[in-house]
Amino acid sequence: MRKLRFILAVIVVLALSAVSFAHPGKLDKNGGHYDKETGEYHYHKGPNALETLELRRNTVYKAKILRVVDGDTAIVSFEFDDGSKYQKERVRFLGVDTPETVHPNKPVQFYGKEASDFTKSQLTDKTVWLQTDVGPRDRYDRMLAYVWLKEPSKKDLDDEKAIRKYMYNAKLLLDGYAQVMTIQPNSKYSNLFVHFQREAREAKKGLWGKEPE
């Protein structure tokens, strides 16, 4: 019995050590921290961690933008049909990548401030609709979504005209604030997004019309 207890104690110590090694550093007030190698932000379970919503693939959720983090990331709360609300979620906009402004180990990138300021002006305090793809979350537990400025109909989801007019991810590309970045397996609009980027580049819009200083 003593031998069994000793073995179990060793296993627990090793497990705790592994967790400590995998997630170094203190948690912030939201219950998460930045990965020192990648600069990505992710959450942890615990008394200060945000609860995780069970997201479904290919689903549209109504949400309120609480805070814009940078050009392609925001903090939201959810609003459901029964009037109930859900706590905060960090949302990474799918299919696009704006220049960094909040990376802990890198300076603000070219055209990053412009992209961040644009998203703040367009989305802060707004009600939006978040459309998931095949993979609703990334490895950092962030929600991955296409952001709609009005509730999309089933037809809108596959209509280029509606996507151009009402999907914010598309707007970032069309106005030259972002470049295409596909996070597999989420590729529903990847071909269309490549077309939008080419269109902005040829028109020299946004970051395509300026040279880094």
For 132-149, give the secondary structure using H, E and C.
CCCCCECCCCCEEEEEEC
d(CA 101, CA 9) in angstroms, rounded, equals 45
Average pLDDT for residues 162-176, to the nearest whole number?
Answer: 98
Count of Cβ atoms closer than 10 Å to residue 157 Cβ: 17
Residue 7: inside a domain: no
Residue 56 reports pLDDT greater than 50 = yes
Which amino acid, residue 150? Answer: K
Of 12-16, 100-104, 109-113, least confident by mean pLDDT is 12-16
Q: What is the distance between the alpha carbons of residues 27 and 12, in angstroms, rounded to a whole number?
A: 22
Q: Is 102 exposed, middle or buried (0-12, 13-18, 19+ CB in 10 A)?
A: middle
Position 122 in a domain? yes
Q: Provide the residue range defining the domain that includes 162.
A: 60-207
In a domain, 36, yes or no: no
pLDDT at residue 111 in the model:
79
Catalytic residue numbers, as ranges: 92, 100, 142
Say if residues 62 and 78 touch (Cβ distance below 8 Å). Answer: yes
Domain assignment of residue 27, yes or no: no
Distance CA 19, CA 110 (A): 36
Q: Which helix (H) or strand (E) holds 93?
A: strand 85-93
- Answer yes or no: is 54 within a domain: no
Q: Is 32 domain-assigned? A: no
Question: Quick check: is 75 in a domain?
Answer: yes
In a domain, 186, yes or no: yes
Q: What is the pLDDT of residues 181-193, one digit of tens each?
A: 999 999 999 999 9
Please state the rounded mean pLDDT for residues 111-136. 94
Average of per-residue pLDDT across 16-32: 43
Number of domains in the chain: 1
CATH of the domain at 99: 2.40.50.90
